[in-house]
Structure 1
Amino acid sequence: MLSVYKDSVKIDDYTIEIFCGDSVPDSSVIWLHTFPGEAEEIWERLSGISTLLAVTGNDWNRQFSPWPASKAFRQGEDFGGGAPDYLKYFLETLLPGAEEKLPFEPKVRGLAGYSMAGLFAVYAMYNTSVFNRIACMSGSLWFDNWKEYALTHSPVPENLAVYLSLGSKEHKTKDQRMSQVKTITEELAVYWGKSCRVTYETVPGGHFTNVAQRIAWGITQIEKM
């Protein structure tokens, strides 16, 4: 999609890239946490999306994990459990700081993410009503005690719609934690489907297969839901 309007905002250590298509006053806004350099490619793959706001600059293991947990990889870092603090900062600082640049007032907001950012997206729907469209692609739903938390709490937003996708090979790993991702994602899709609209898809490949394409597709789906 070609941008009718494009801008960027620098707030503290974060950059928010703003991509607008042919926006109208009742347009939805999709927020995405991603890595530097990825947003442009994702935007170009979108169709039917009016506005994308892409945040970069995050410490993924610290800010997207709902509580502390041991590291997933030998050479990695432990998870810091910073999602509660980051969500507060995101809602109070980043979101209004970027949305004031928009040429319209958003009426519907979505939140999208891949991997740990996907986990953060579904975590957010339990802790704020701001986003009622959630896209979680290859979400790290294997995260320690996440399933138990999700099954014993209720999402907050009204008229909620959730899109989930997972690579067909992602559960085929010797790592005991990550090997649970397929079972947990499917179980939560059923659970969330009892109270909101849920679309769950299995796509070919592993965790790092066609990432930009899968993010763009997921965003497109929640725009339609």
Structure 2
Amino acid sequence: GELTPWPAPGVRKSLPMFKGNAEAHLEYLINQVIPEAESMLTSPPSYRIIAGYSLAGLFAFWTAWHTDVFKRIACGSASFWYPGFTDYMKSHPMLSVPDYVYLSLGDNESNTKHPVMSRVGDCTDEVLNYLSDKEIPHFFEVNPGNHFSDPDGRLAKAILKTLLYLH
């Protein structure tokens, strides 16, 4: 629940509620992690990318509404099904429009019996339509398998394609 934008019920009765601690996590990244990491560089970065998989992918995308620190976003199998997210996306302006967004989803991710999580394909389509309507450069890739098929490889591919994007 550290990366979720607001509190919401857990996806199963046996799991705890999502805490909605995204703001605090973003503040920690901006005020502690990024300065520490960039203090080790010999020159400032040209731009920053934020990337994440699953709920971390949702968090990465959500940051565009809350900071101008990141110029590119890479989301692997982002949890766009999160309750209220697509409505939030459509009803609030981005604080900083990214210059590129990469999204991916497994071809079998919507085939789950869970009523909320099965909406991931439809919700991802809403995000893609939003990006197109706002003329934000983006790329969408469908990968074989479900949500748990090669998450590390998928995220690595997302980061690589985001780094290699040329305007």
Q: Distance in 2 between matches of 1:177 and 1:139?
A: 14
**Is 1:179 matched with 2:111?**
no
Any stretches of 5+ residues in structure 1 without a counterpart? Answer: 1-60
Say if 2:64 and 2:98, in contact at 8 Å, map to a contact too: no
Residue 153 (structure 2) aligns with: 213
Q: Distance in 2 between matches of 1:145 and 1:187?
A: 12
Residue 41 (structure 1) aligns with: none
Say if 1:151 and 1:188, in contact at 8 Å, map to a contact too: no
Q: Percent identity?
A: 36
Any stretches of 5+ residues in structure 2 without a counterpart? Answer: none
TM-score (norm 1): 0.70
Residue 104 (structure 2) aligns with: 165
- Please identify which structure carries the higher strand content: 1
Residue 201 (structure 1) aligns with: 141
1:222 alignment partner, one of 140, 162, 167: 162
Q: Which runs of 4+ in 1 moved over 6 A?
A: none
CA RMSD of aligned residues (A): 1.2
Structure of higher CA gyration radius: 1
Partner of 1:79, secondary structure, is coil
Q: Distance in 2 between matches of 1:217 and 1:111?
A: 14
| Count of residues in Structure 1 that have an aligned counterpart in Structure 2 | 164
Say if 1:64 and 1:83, in contact at 8 Å, map to a contact too: yes
Relative to structure 1, the CA distance from residue 69 to residue 159 in structure 2 (aligned partners, 3 Å threshold; closer, same or farther) is closer
Say if 1:136 and 1:218, in contact at 8 Å, map to a contact too: yes
Residue 153 (structure 1) aligns with: 92
Q: Distance in 2 between matches of 1:126 and 1:140?
A: 16
- Please identify which structure carries the higher helix content: 2
